[in-house]
Structure formats: C-alpha cells, structure tokens
Amino acid sequence: MTAKADVTAEYLREYFIYDKGTGLFINRKKRWLALAGQVVGQINAVGYLVVGIHDRSWLLHRLAFLYVTGEWPKNHVDHIDGNKLNNRWGNLRDVSQELNTQNVKTHRKHNKLGVLGVQKTPSGSFMARVVVKGKSFTKNFATLEEAQEHYLALKRFLHEGNTL
C-alpha cells in the first residue's frame, strides 16, 4: 500500500498538468493505459473525482491542493460552491470539518420538504434549525417560506464557513 508521502507535488507535476482555471488534471505523459494529453478522473461512489496512482484512488480536489501549494491540506478541502466535480483552484479551500459541514447547500436525502434546514413538526408548523458547535437554534413558523427565510438568515449569521 502506498503512503500519502509517496505522492508528492513533484510527482504530480511530473505526470500531470493541473489547470487551475478549469480544475482539470491532464496526463503530461503516457501513464500505463492513459495517453498523454488525456483528461483524467472518474467519479467515485460518493460523487468526487478520483484518479488511480500506485494502485490507489486519490481524490482530485486534494491532489489539486498538493499540486498548487506543494503541501497536503491540513484539514478538509471544501468545494466552496458545493459542486464536488468543480475542482477549479478558486473553488477549493482548506477548512476544518466544522466549516466544511457549515457549507452544505442542499437538503439531506431524508428531508421530505426538499428545503435545507427546515422540517415539518407533528403539529403542522415548520421548524427552522441551525446547529453551531453542538448547540441547536430552532424556531417554529406557520409557513415553509417563513421558516426557510429564517433558516437562511440565521445560517448566514452563525455559520462562518457558509457561502450561501
């Protein structure tokens, strides 16, 4: 098994071209079955682009960070716009897990309302809920629209990592 230290910025720069404007990785020279000039990356099971290096899959957004800065990210590499496939350099930032989580832009799969941060209560009202450092801030509203408006305003105020 290859350790993280085996893939260096120098290695990446020798075998790939990373275009900071498009976020694409391109083979600099022929690698195994991949041709020089070919764009690399496949979408993995959770929706991120990966490339195989030394019999292991590597997340391209983390490799972009290494390629540009010369160092592995210290934390999580967040896609600022929430698009897991957008690896443009201006769309990536090294943030804590907490800030990465705060930048969620879409509702969870189990949210039947289809609205981020709002759920329907048993009484029929709509509850807006924002969590910061384990503390939950909730408020009930008569309409879904009011709850969503409140959620977004509170999220923008409390979540420093949010980019909504």
pLDDT tens-digit profile, the chain (164 residues): 345 558 999 999 999 999 999 999 999 988 777 888 899 999 999 999 999 998 899 999 999 999 999 999 999 999 988 899 999 999 999 987 777 777 676 767 777 787 888 989 999 999 999 888 888 899 999 999 999 999 889 888 887 776 76
- Residue-range domain boundaries for the chain: 4-95, 104-158
Is it true that domain 4-95 has CATH number 3.90.75.20?
Answer: yes
**Cα(105)–Cα(117) distance, rounded to whole angstroms?**
10
CA angle centred on 107, ends 24 and 49, rounded to 5°: 20
